Chain A
Amino acid sequence: NAGVTQTPKFQVLKTGQSMTLQCAQDMNHNSMYWYRQDPGMGLRLIYYSASEGTTDKGEVPNGYNVSRLNKREFSLRLESAAPSQTSVYFCASSEARAGLRGVLTFGAGSRLTVL
């Protein structure tokens, strides 16, 4: 049982380049999320998908797009990378069940550097 798998683990981009971070979960969770973590900060929500076919903005969505490809996969795209997007990105998923609200399963993270 792999849980939440993110690729790539590391990526270096030049300003203006585009890239997509991939995320897949094998726990049959309905909801998926993308967070970013910056030094000295907690995690901040970029986008989320409450269920297959829906996506919504989180706290810091500017400069990003997402796609909920199917129930398993949720990708994050940077169309024109900027140095301010240098960060560690975490994908997470959760079940929509009473008693488990807010209980997220996280991936291992993707470290992105934009030069």
Chain B
Amino acid sequence: AQTVTQSQPEMSVQEAETVTLSCTYDTSENNYYLFWYKQPPSRQMILVIRQEAYKQQNATENRFSVNFQKAAKSFSLKISDSQLGDTAMYFCAFMKHGGSQGNLIFGKGTKLSVKP
């Protein structure tokens, strides 16, 4: 069975600075997808970034980028130039390549606070 571990329950960062959220996972699969989802205080989850395991290049979306280390089974999220609106719970998630499309395994989350 796959597991996803987020070892930082809470983090804080000053506005405009950079912060990195950690995620490790355990799987015997070779092909899979990894995600970071964000849940602001309003509760609605939104996708931040997606990575396909067979792609060596790290995914980026504007100020968000990942460091995907397949051998180490590590998938960290870097947020550059942090903004107050980045305050949220961040969930790392895993999905098998051949499995049901929406069957994501989520970590327990990291609560990020961006301070002015």
Interface residues of A (CB under 8 A from B): 31-33, 40-45, 48, 50, 56, 58-59, 88, 90, 92, 94, 96, 101-104, 106-109
Contact = CB atoms under 8 A, between A and B. Distances in A.
A109 B101 contact: no
Contacts, number: 66
Contacts of A90: 45
Nearest to B106: A42
Contact of A42 (B91, B100, B101, B103): B91
Interface of B: 4, 33, 35, 37, 42-47, 50, 91, 93, 95, 97, 100-109
B60 to A, nearest CB: 16
B106 A44 contact: yes
Q: Which of A44, A45, A104 has the most CB of B within 10 A?
A: A104
Q: Which of A42, A56, A107 has the most CB of B within 10 A?
A: A42
A-B pairs, top 4 by smallest CB distance, nearest first, are A42-B106, A106-B45, A33-B102, A102-B95
Given A42-B4, A92-B102, 10 more contacts: A33-B102, A40-B108, A42-B91, A42-B106, A45-B102, A50-B100, A102-B95, A103-B35, A106-B44, A108-B42
A102 B102 contact: yes
Contacts of A59: 103
A108 B93 contact: no
A42 B44 contact: no
B52 to A, nearest CB: 9
A107 B104 contact: no
Contacts of A45: 102-104
Contacts of A41: 108
Contacts of A50: 100-101
A42 B108 contact: yes
6 contacts: A32-B102, A33-B102, A41-B108, A42-B93, A50-B101, A101-B33
A109 to B, nearest CB: 5
B40 to A, nearest CB: 11
A101 B4 contact: no
B43 A88 contact: yes
